[in-house]
Structure 1
Amino acid sequence: MPPTKRFSPAALWEYMENYGDVILKPSGGGGGAGIIKMSSLDGERYRIHAGSIRRVVEGKEAVLHALKSLFRPKIYLLQPHLSLGRINGRPFDVRVMVQRTRSNQRWQVTGWLAKLAGPGYVVTNVARSRGSVLSLQNAIQRSGIPKRPDLLFDIKKVSLAVASCLGKAYPRLLEIGLDLGLDQEGKIWVIEANFRPALSLFQRLPEKTFYRRIKAFRIRT
């Protein structure tokens, strides 16, 4: 996982000094709502990117005022901005469905795809950014991510390891929609875990194998 801290002014300036580009995200949020990217420019000038809106703010007090006007009523977290793989300049991340049944507690990866951000957006949430979905293999091929034969195997391995940990903490949990990042060097990052993942993303793929498999698992539970 990217280094994560609870938001405070002191933590924000520490992260800006260490990373230069920072993501602020609400804890327990959904749908990409409330996510803000902040980038350091020159002097005390900073770019704030929320949704499709970008603005430059000068001075730390003005920055804090601008951020708090954008915050949703939730605890906010800080993470360094990941340099995700891109297609035509637009970032994408990976949605992996991991499921199990009450009768068989062994987790299985039942589907994966790539979520491509819409033009001008930081978040890859398809509905919020008016983005699109495509097969994971297609996304990797079209991006600048270095090709390696074990990448898909490693994505599956990471997904099952995360599901195993979360399954112990939440024994009744039967499915997880994991959002993973692939940075431009091909490193895998855990972004978040969704406990009520939408099946509609997989329904958008032209090939319906994953959609049918995930739906069948839900029926069995």
Structure 2
Amino acid sequence: MPRRGSGSLSVKNKWTKTKWLLSDSGLRRFVPETKPFTRNSLNGMTARYKMVYFKPTTGTGGGGIARIDRTGAGKFRVKKDARTFEASSTASLFGLLQKIARGRSYLLQKGIYLQSSGGRPFDLRMTMQKAEGGRWVPSTMFVKLGKRNKVVTNYHQGGKLELVGQTLSRAGYSPAQIEHYKRRLKELGMQTARCFDRRSPRFRELGLDVALDRNGRLWILEVNTRPNFSALKSLADKSLYRTMVRYGKMYGRTR
């Protein structure tokens, strides 16, 4: 159920939010194939994709997420946190994932091979916030640089935050390419904000987790309806944190 807190509507169910994105003709091509976890969906997803992510339907900070890699015909490796498991069939893989889920609802999502910078995979965060008068503003964008050998890039899973230009430049992108991706992130943010507005005008902040794959394509991995502010304090440049706080004051998230 949608929840309201600190002046903005919050929806924790990732499947609900994914279905909203898929219902938008302009956004659905940016969403990796995602299915609720069942035996049939597992068989189909692992047949189609060499890498699949197993993620809780609700949850924050990258907790509970596992990565499934197909290593051969009917053989799989599952990595969760610092542990690795092997499965010799889709049936044994299903049983293993059931143990990880422990009765909780989970999703399967096509794995995206992330671009890397300095040998570390990264994804991008585009934060949208409402200004006075209900106008959406692309307030901040930054990079979540993953810790080596981690399943996710999240700050609370050992990741590091960086500025977009800094990371993309180190990854070999030209200034013109960097500006292109910044512009595309803002466009995706605005499209997503309009999509969520059609569901309820009470959304006042959104955090898009966007993957940049090795072919240069952008993918919306998920949308957070209560994006984290405090992690931005880890940046030497405090202007991004101050910007989020300034907009947050307009709808009661911050003081």
TM-score bin, normalised by smaller chain? over 0.9
Q: Secondary structure in 1 aligned to 2:126?
A: strand
The aligned counterpart of 1:85 is: 115
Q: Residues 21 and 38 of structure 1 are in contact (CA less than 8 Å); yes or no, is this contact kept in structure 2? A: yes
Does residue 171 of structure 2 align to residue 143 of structure 1? Answer: yes
The aligned counterpart of 1:132 is: 160
Q: Secondary structure in 2 aligned to 1:124?
A: coil
The aligned counterpart of 1:95 is: 125
Cα offsets for 1:104-158 (capped at 9, x unmatched): 2211011111011112112111112x11111111111122568724221111101
TM-score by length of 2: 0.81
Gaps of 5+ in 1: none
Does residue 116 of structure 2 align to residue 116 of structure 1? Answer: no
Q: Residues 7 and 76 of structure 1 are in contact (CA less than 8 Å); yes or no, is this contact kept in structure 2? A: yes
TM-score by length of 1: 0.92
Percent identity, please. Answer: 28
* Count of residues in correspondence between the two structures: 219
What RMSD, in angstroms, separates the aligned Cα atoms of the two structures? 1.7
What does residue range 198-209 of structure 1 map to in structure 2 within 5 Å?
198-209=228-239
Structure 1 residues 169 and 187, CA gap change in structure 2 (3 angstroms): same
**CA-CA distance at 1:60 after TM superposition:** 2.5
Q: Residues 42 and 94 of structure 2 are in contact (CA less than 8 Å); yes or no, is this contact kept in structure 1? A: no
Range with bigger deviation, 73-82 or 171-180: 73-82
Range with bigger deviation, 54-63 or 191-200: 54-63
Does residue 73 of structure 2 align to residue 43 of structure 1? Answer: yes
Range with bigger deviation, 139-148 or 172-181: 139-148
Q: Secondary structure in 2 aligned to 1:77?
A: strand
Q: Secondary structure in 2 aligned to 1:121?
A: coil
Take 2:196 and 2:103, find their aligned partners in 1: how far apart are those partners?
A: 26
What does residue range 135-214 of structure 1 map to in structure 2 within 5 Å?
135-143=163-171, 148=177, 149-214=179-244
Q: Residues 5 and 78 of structure 1 are in contact (CA less than 8 Å); yes or no, is this contact kept in structure 2? A: yes
Residue identity matched to 2:162: L
Q: 1:105 aligns with which of 127, 131, 134?
A: 134
The aligned counterpart of 2:20 is: none
Take 1:122 and 1:138, find their aligned partners in 2: how far apart are those partners?
A: 23
Q: Residues 27 and 76 of structure 1 are in contact (CA less than 8 Å); yes or no, is this contact kept in structure 2? A: yes
Q: Secondary structure in 1 aligned to 2:72?
A: coil
Structure 1 residues 134 and 215, CA gap change in structure 2 (3 angstroms): same
Residue identity matched to 1:139: T
Does residue 44 of structure 2 align to residue 14 of structure 1? Answer: yes
Take 2:113 and 2:85, find their aligned partners in 1: how far apart are those partners?
A: 21
Gaps of 5+ in 2: 1-30
